[in-house]
């Protein structure tokens, strides 16, 4: 029995090391950035070929009618790297994971600025009348929420007995590993769906090329909501602290609101993403307030 437990422990260490170690983190970041640079160069070549009509086919104006469109490609891989980092930090810090969610949405807004900024290249419009203004404001608001969130984030979120802490972290790492596998499968599916749309467009110019992110981020955040709820239940088993439970409930609601914002347009989407960020900050402040109050009561009773 002891040999079997030791074998299971070694297998667990190997699997977690493969997906969630610091070495794997550095490797994944380098690979994604390298792929982003290669595809950015390829995107530029396709843009030039489409511009000078040297290609045997025409490409979609959505991604190939301006050099700034090529910035969309490397930012997409930076975002995928951020999604992996979200999963990487999930076993160690719920707050850091929520911060990564806000970072991802913030980067999506910044990428949208590059997508729409060329539309006003030769127009006479005030900044607030341009299509990129909304995304710029959205990114600034989310960045402000991130500053507050990381400023008030506690260094250590809970005190557990050593045995409980080890078991709790093991469970979170197992869930994170499953999420990494889901991320890989979802990335391949989204990319395959986009390639199929491109082939459909080459055959029929009237065929609409869908944004792969509409599938990827929506489905990923749906899975993330389920994972957050599961982690909330597990943390309630190991942590007897109302402040942390309240905060984690608020974080789950924040993730749900971020997910809803993906299906909205304009100020509706921006207001929901801002509200999600402010809710996360508010819940963290409430947790800190409850902790300070608890310490004050303990001092009075001593």
pLDDT surpasses 90 at 253:
yes
Domain borders along the chain are: 18-291
Rg (CA), the chain: 22
- From CA 156, how far away is CA 138, in angstroms rounded? 30
pLDDT digits (tens, 9 = 90+) for 276-301: 999 999 999 998 888 776 655 455 55
* Burial of residue 162, with CB atoms counted within 10 A of its CB: 0-12 exposed, 13-18 middle, 19 or more buried: exposed
- From CA 89, how far away is CA 13, in angstroms rounded? 17
- From CA 68, how far away is CA 55, in angstroms rounded? 20
Q: Which region holds residue 130: left if phi is over 0, alpha if psi is between -120 and 50, else beta?
A: beta
- From CA 192, how far away is CA 113, in angstroms rounded? 26
Q: How many CB atoms lie within 10 A of CB 229?
A: 15
Is the separation of the CB atoms in 91 and 168 below 8 Å? no
pLDDT digits (tens, 9 = 90+) for 121-180: 666 777 777 888 899 999 999 999 999 999 988 765 555 555 566 777 788 888 888 888
pLDDT digits (tens, 9 = 90+) for 46-62: 888 877 777 766 666 66
pTM beyond cutoff 0.85: no
The residue written with tokens 């050099």 in the block is 67
CA 78 to chain centre: 10
């Amino acid at each position: 029995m002891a040999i079997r437990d030791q074998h299971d422990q070694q297998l667990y260490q190997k699997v977690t090391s493969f997906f969630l170690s610091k070495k794997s983190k550095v490797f994944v970041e380098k690979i994604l950035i390298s792929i982003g640079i290669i595809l950015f160069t390829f995107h530029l070549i396709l843009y030039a070929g489409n511009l000078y009509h040297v290609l045997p086919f025409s490409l979609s104006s959505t991604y190939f009618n301006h050099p700034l469109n090529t910035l969309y490609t490397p930012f997409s891989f930076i975002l995928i790297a951020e999604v992996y980092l979200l999963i990487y930090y999930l076993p160690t810090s719920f707050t850091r994971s929520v911060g990564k969610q806000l970072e991802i949405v913030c980067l999506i807004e910044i990428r949208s600025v590059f997508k729409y900024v060329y539309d006003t290249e030769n127009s006479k419009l005030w900044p607030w009348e341009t299509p990129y203004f909304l995304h710029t404001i959205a990114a600034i608001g989310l960045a402000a929420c991130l500053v507050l969130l990381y400023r008030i984030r506690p260094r250590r979120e809970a005190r557990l007995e050593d045995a409980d802490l080890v078991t709790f972290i093991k469970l979170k790492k197992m869930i994170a590993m499953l999420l990494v596998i889901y991320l890989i499968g979802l990335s391949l599916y989204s990319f395959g769906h986009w390639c199929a749309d491109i082939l459909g467009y080459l055959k029929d110019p009237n065929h609409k090329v869908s944004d792969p992110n509409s599938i990827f981020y929506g489905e990923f955040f749906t899975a993330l909501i389920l994972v957050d709820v599961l982690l909330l239940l597990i943390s309630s088993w190991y942590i007897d602290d109302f402040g942390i439970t309240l905060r984690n409930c608020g974080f789950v609601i924040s993730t749900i609101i971020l997910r809803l914002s993906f299906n909205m347009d304009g100020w509706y989407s921006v207001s929901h993403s801002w509200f999600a960020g402010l809710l996360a900050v508010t819940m963290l402040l409430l947790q800190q307030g409850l902790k300070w109050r608890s310490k004050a009561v303990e001092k009075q009773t001593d």
